[in-house]
Chain A
Amino acid sequence: MSSNSLLRDKQVLVLDGDDGIGAAVTAQFKAEGASVVSVQVSGTDVVAAFDQATSQLGDIDVVVNAISTWEPLAPESWTSDRWHELNQRNGEVAMLVGQLALKRLRSPGVVCSVSSVWAMATSPEMGLFGASKAALGPITKAVALSGVSAGIRANTVVMGLIDTPALRAVVEQAGQAAGGAGSDNLFDQTIPRVPMRRAGTAEEVANAAAFLCSGHARMINGASVVVDGGFLYA
């Protein structure tokens, strides 16, 4: 897709996970004219990521939390340790991102959280992950409401079936956790459940995030924008 310089002169911090979404956000935001610092956060050290962005960019206009720690796990395999880890990487990181954004973004600032349809719908294997991701909705909306006086908006992009190598692997793991024999094309078998009859691309998630972080979206605040080809609602 051609770029329209939607994010010209914007200084952006991307918190990158390892599922391919953060990488696409970084690439698309640069294509839209932004200066981007992309950081792999270790644990919950969001402060270090903000510090790194501040030292490289000066002011920060936009922060995208593209970290998702995925964990397909059937209920009988749930453990407190896994739950704590998921809550830290998904929920606590989102909490810290929101809080730091309110303190440190330059106005007009924008926060974009990346969540998943599993935060809004469930299956036995995705319940634990979904519960940890569900924290992003209320947290991002709270930041959206709290940020108004400081000129900061916040929205969530809720992704559906997205085609990256890591997310293909998640679907295969979910199949195994469900007790399936293990096939190497469960991802493709899932596609007919998407009304658009295709998976989305990481670029499409990144493009939605780009629009939401641009000045065009000046009145879009506290929204959970579902980017799933119709999986959830259609």
Chain B
Amino acid sequence: MILDGKRTLVIGAGSGIGQATAILFAQQGAQVVCADLNEARALATVEQINAADGTAWSGVVDISVKAEVDAIMARAVELMGGVDVLVTTPFGNISMELENLPEAQWDFEHGVLAKGTLFGIQAAVPVMRAQHGGVILVATASIFGDYGAFTHPAVFPAYGAAKGAQEMLIRVSAGQFAQDGIRVCGVQPGFTLTEGSIAGLEDVGIPLDGFLAQGAAGMPMGPGQPEDVAEGFLFLASDYGSYINGYCLPVDGGSYAARFGRLLA
């Protein structure tokens, strides 16, 4: 199997893309610590994996709190003897408001996405450096926030800015820690049907049906399933991606390519 023997920690494993990634990794032979803010949901993912004869444990973490991220990393090391792959996929919420964007909203989104990514990297690096290897993977964004500003539609100021921060953290740490044998990459999901994305649309007053109809032209293969996006994490976590570093992989059926005029090379 593609990830035989890999010790992995997935933060955000309670729902959507993180959950599908934890399940796929276990199917491909990895041991998985499934961590989430929502303990019951993390446990449900673990139960699914164990019922299919996989190996998994659950854990609770708020990725925006450094001490908690350090603690879940320590627990994963204790359970598995090390961590070869860290995947982070938490999602907070989205808002289109800019002129009257509450400061607390900005801080919240940056806490979950930007600080969460930083804390994940900070917790993983010493463990992976000591092992002389590891892979850190972050769910970033494709149509909603790649490199922050080049987004079309550029409609989510705090979310988009925090997504841009994630991608810059990926690139910087990919450069700094490559000599320790650590690769750092992102996966940019296109619009993917998850509890988080559907609720997020509702929060900003967009019904799913309308969004899918209106957005169809920008989604050549339609919306993704979390299982599809999980395959991108599998690619980058595995030896198939052994020379890929500092790169964010779109898994979006071509949505990214369909946004004409950008990154054509």
Contacts and interface: CB of A to CB of B under 8 A. Distances in A.
Interface stretch (B41-49, B68-76, B77-85, B172-180): B172-180
Nearest to A215: B231
Given A4-B1, A141-B257, A233 B171 contact: yes
B244 interface: yes
B256 A222 contact: yes
Interface stretch (B32-40, B87-95, B104-112, B220-228): B220-228
Interface stretch (B153-161, B197-205, B234-242): B234-242
Contact of B241 (A119, A197, A208): A208
Interface stretch (B59-67, B120-128, B245-253): B245-253
A226 B179 contact: no
B136 to A, nearest CB: 12
Contact of B249 (A119, A141, A205, A223): A223
Interface string A198-224: 001100110110111000111111111
**Interface majority SS (helix, strand, loop, mixed), chain A:** mixed
Contact of B240 (A160, A211, A222, A224): A211
Binding site secondary structure of chain B? mixed
A134 interface: yes
Interface string B161-184: 000000000011011001100011
A74 interface: no
Residue among A134, A158, A212, A227 having the largest count of chain B Cβ atoms under 10 Å: A227
A127 interface: no
A160 B246 CA distance: 13
A221 B142 CA distance: 13
A4 to B, nearest CB: 5
A215 to B, nearest CB: 9
Contacts of B179: 195-197
Contact-residue size bin, chain A (C-beta under 8 Å from the other chain): 35 or more
Contact of A219 (B184, B246, B251, B258): B251
B178 A138 contact: no
Contact of B174 (A1, A145, A230): A230
B251 to A, nearest CB: 5
A138 B246 CA distance: 22
Given A201-B243, A219-B252, A229-B243, 11 more contacts: A134-B265, A145-B257, A195-B174, A195-B245, A219-B229, A219-B253, A223-B249, A228-B243, A228-B245, A228-B247, A234-B174
26 contacts: A134-B264, A144-B257, A145-B220, A195-B174, A196-B183, A201-B243, A208-B240, A208-B244, A211-B241, A218-B231, A219-B231, A220-B232, A220-B251, A221-B254, A222-B220, A223-B250, A223-B257, A224-B263, A224-B265, A225-B244, A229-B243, A229-B245, A230-B174, A230-B183, A230-B246, A230-B247
4 closest cross-chain pairs (CB), A and B: A222-B257, A234-B246, A219-B228, A234-B175
